[in-house]
Structure 1
């Protein structure tokens, strides 16, 4: 039995922190729980509460400091993508509709094993997934 209780946070980088914070707030109702101004040796940072004890820690860096190609699987660096959990297929469908309204690049809801899954790209082009248990 694992001693961990799940993910605490995922850390990612962006060249436009304000745009990413607004996107996650609008798309998922994420709330800012911490903000840090840039300091010597540490970039500007925001922590977003994604619910269920999970957070997204976002660091603002220069475009040239983001290594990899976020649009190509295998070229994205050590974290390929992360999945956000929702409680039901109904919530997943509402999330799909909200992402469309926000102009996100999205796929279709699909069944992957015991999960319903929806892939999308955030404003930086990072591929992400929203999932819920099926049945």
Structure 2
């Protein structure tokens, strides 16, 4: 493979602080400063893993963060799947998602992985995945 993973995912939010606080509290993410990115636009970097960030944009007059549609009707990128670092981290995240009212805690068995789904404060669906141990 020529790539080493995903560097960032750019998302539009109505409130970067609220979104950053959520990712910090649930995922121990590192939230950088908010800075201007263009006319009527700000960007906040939220580091969610080694070398991986959410680039959170707030854009005056843009209502995309308000648009909510069912799975597979959301456009080219439907949801974000995050990799838990360990089984213990998966359980910590799952518990925090329940406490934050962002997920129901259900664990799905998708064969090679376990997963749990959530919605962030802007309504963007996310999934946390944990590979099953190989024998």
Q: Count how many residue pairs are aligned between Structure 1 and Structure 2.
A: 133
Picking from 78, 91, 94, the partner of 1:93 is 91
CA contact (8 A) 1:68 1:77 kept: no
Q: Secondary structure at the match of 1:21?
A: helix
Query: Bigger shift: 97-106 or 17-26?
Result: 97-106
Note the alpha carbon deviations across 1:58-80, whole angstroms, 9 max, x for none: 10135753178434113222210
Contact 1:89/1:116 (8 A) holds in 2: no
Give the 3 Å change call, closer, same or farther, for CA 34–64 of structure 1 in structure 2.
Answer: closer
The farther-off stretch of 70-79 and 20-29 is 70-79
- TM-fit CA distance, 1:124: 1.1
Partner of 2:6: 7
Distance 2:128 2:96 in 1: 12
Q: Structure 1 pair 113/70, CA: closer, same or farther in 2 (3 Å)?
A: farther
> Which consecutive residues of structure 1, in runs of 5 or more, have no partner in the other structure?
none
Aligned 8 A contact 1:70 1:127 in 2: no
Give the Cα–Cα distance (whole angstroms) in 2 for the partners of residues 4 and 132 of structure 1.
21
The secondary structure found in structure 1 opposite 2:20 is helix
CA RMSD in angstroms, aligned pairs only: 2.1
Deviation track 1:64-97 (CA, whole Å, cap 9, x = no partner) reads 5317843411322221001111122221111111
Normalising by structure 1, report the TM-score: 0.86
Paired residue for 1:47? 45
TM-score (norm 2): 0.86
**5+ residue gaps, structure 2:** none
